[in-house]
């Protein structure tokens, strides 16, 4: 027979175990660095903070720092001579080429989880807030730079002259930040430099598409463009989430054949690709300050709990748990 003191001991052991489990979960969650502003990453690697909306980091000047798996609320270009192996990039693992660029956009997750190892890198990181683009010409053009998208699962491989040109522009941008205080004219100059860098990146991207001559990449590009247009035109507010049948029809395929092509190109399903795109949009909307109900409505869900269920299935977290991170 279990006596009173045994019951007390069992209860105490249960709650101690529960606290330990909670601590483990909290520690696991801390392994993701939330980069809500460009300077969140700068502070992590102990780089100078130069501007509220732009961070330019010269890795060659830094002391060794830890890996980080980053949840981005900003745009970024990582311009490096050599990247660590097996970088996470969304749901995939990325093997980046030497002397290349990895591009990220708000709502994406990438990097390597902190394992206490300290590394040294060579090159630059350029990160900027979406706020920098607000009401600018570049804000309306940013969607056409396809190398930010998850479907482009490589790095932009630079020729030696491109490395020199791009890194010189980044260095000049940093010099502007060091010498001049924040102002409308400074931001205009930064946008000019940024647009030039993105055009260099786009030229590299288009060259790689031509070199690869990969029909799967072309299909994914058109699929991704179709999803972007669907949400940009707010069709989801009238017709709900895009379906596989709709996308296949718009791209001139039967649903079955379209699904087979997407599976061959990605290893996943067409509906999975749509859901992944929708969840990335959801993360971006919530990072912009929209609550769960607003995010659900803006994405075309009939009911918030349908959104919550999909978000949980795709990320392992509810939207509330994601926001608390």
Residue 150 has what pLDDT?
A: 67
* pLDDT, average across residues 237-250: 95
Residue 36: DSSP 8-state: S
Taking CA atoms, 276 is separated from 4, 124, 162, 224, in Å, by 53, 29, 33, 11
Pinpoint the residues of the chain covered by CATH 1.10.10.60. 215-324
3-state secondary structure 178-225: HHCCCCHHHHHHHHHHHHHHHHHHHHHHHHHHHHHCCHHHHHHHHHHH
Average pLDDT of the chain? Answer: 87
Among 26-30, 114-118, 131-135, 192-196, the least confident range: 26-30
Domain at 32-212, CATH from 2.30.29, 3.30.1920, 2.60.120, 1.25.40 = 2.60.120
Residue 121: pLDDT band with limits 50, 70, 90: very high
* 163-197 residue pLDDT tens: 999 999 999 999 999 999 999 999 999 999 999 99
Residue bearing tokens 């990335």: 280
Task: Evaluate if residue 124 carries a pLDDT over 70.
Answer: yes
pLDDT digits (tens, 9 = 90+) for 193-215: 999 999 999 999 888 876 655 55
| pLDDT of 6 higher than 50 | no
Q: What pLDDT shows up at residue 318?
A: 93
Cα dihedral across residues 111, 112, 114, 118: positive or negative: negative
Q: Beta strand pairing status for 69-72 and 109-111?
A: antiparallel
**Residue ranges matching CATH 2.60.120 in the chain:** 32-212
Mean pLDDT score, 85-91 = 81
- Across the range 74-86, mean pLDDT stands at 95
- Select from 1.25.40.10, 3.40.30.10, 1.10.10.60, 1.10.10.10 the CATH code of 215-324: 1.10.10.60
Q: How far is CA 308 from the centre of its chain?
A: 20
Nearest in space to 267 (alpha carbons), one of 160, 186, 153: 153
Sheet order of strands, 54-58 included: 54-58, 123-128, 75-80, 100-104, 156-157
DSSP assignment, residue 268? Answer: S
pLDDT in tens, 127-144: 999 999 999 999 989 988
The most confident of 174-178, 202-206, 268-272, 287-291, by mean pLDDT: 174-178
Picking from 264, 265, 300, 257, the residue whose alpha carbon sits closest to that of residue 281 is 300
Model pLDDT, residue 132? 97
pLDDT at 20: 43
């Amino acid at each position: 027979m279990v006596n009173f003191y045994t019951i007390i001991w069992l209860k105490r052991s249960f709650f101690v175990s529960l606290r330990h489990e909670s601590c483990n979960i909290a520690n696991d969650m801390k392994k993701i660095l939330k980069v809500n502003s460009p300077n969140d990453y700068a502070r992590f690697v102990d780089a100078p903070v130069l501007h509220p909306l732009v961070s330019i980091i010269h890795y060659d000047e830094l002391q060794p720092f830890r890996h980080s798996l980053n949840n981005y609320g900003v745009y970024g270009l990582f311009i490096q001579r050599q990247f660590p192996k097996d970088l996470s990039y969304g749901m995939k693992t990325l093997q980046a080429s030497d002397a290349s660029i990895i591009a990220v956009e708000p709502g994406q997750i990438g990097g390597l989880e902190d394992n206490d190892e300290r590394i040294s890198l060579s090159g630059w990181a350029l990160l900027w807030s979406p706020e920098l683009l607000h009401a600018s010409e570049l804000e309306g053009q940013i969607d056409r730079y396809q190398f930010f998208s998850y479907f482009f699962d490589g790095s932009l491989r630079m020729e030696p002259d491109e490395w020199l040109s791009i890194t010189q522009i980044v260095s000049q941008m940093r010099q502007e930040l060091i010498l001049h205080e924040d102002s409308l004219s400074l931001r205009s100059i930064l946008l000019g430099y940024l647009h030039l860098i993105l055009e260099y990146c786009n030229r590299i991207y288009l060259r790689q598409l031509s070199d690869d001559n990969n029909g799967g990449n072309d299909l994914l590009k058109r699929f991704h463009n179709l999803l972007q247009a669907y949400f940009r035109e707010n069709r989801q507010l009238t017709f709900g989430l895009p379906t596989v049948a709709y996308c296949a029809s718009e791209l001139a395929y039967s649903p079955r054949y379209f699904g087979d092509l997407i599976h061959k190109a990605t290893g996943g399903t067409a509906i999975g690709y749509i859901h992944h795109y929708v969840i990335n949009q959801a993360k971006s909307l919530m990072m912009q300050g929209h609550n769960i109900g607003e995010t659900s409505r803006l994405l075309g869900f009939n009911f918030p709990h349908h959104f919550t269920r999909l978000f949980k299935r795709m990320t392992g977290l509810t939207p509330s748990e994601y926001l608390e991170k």
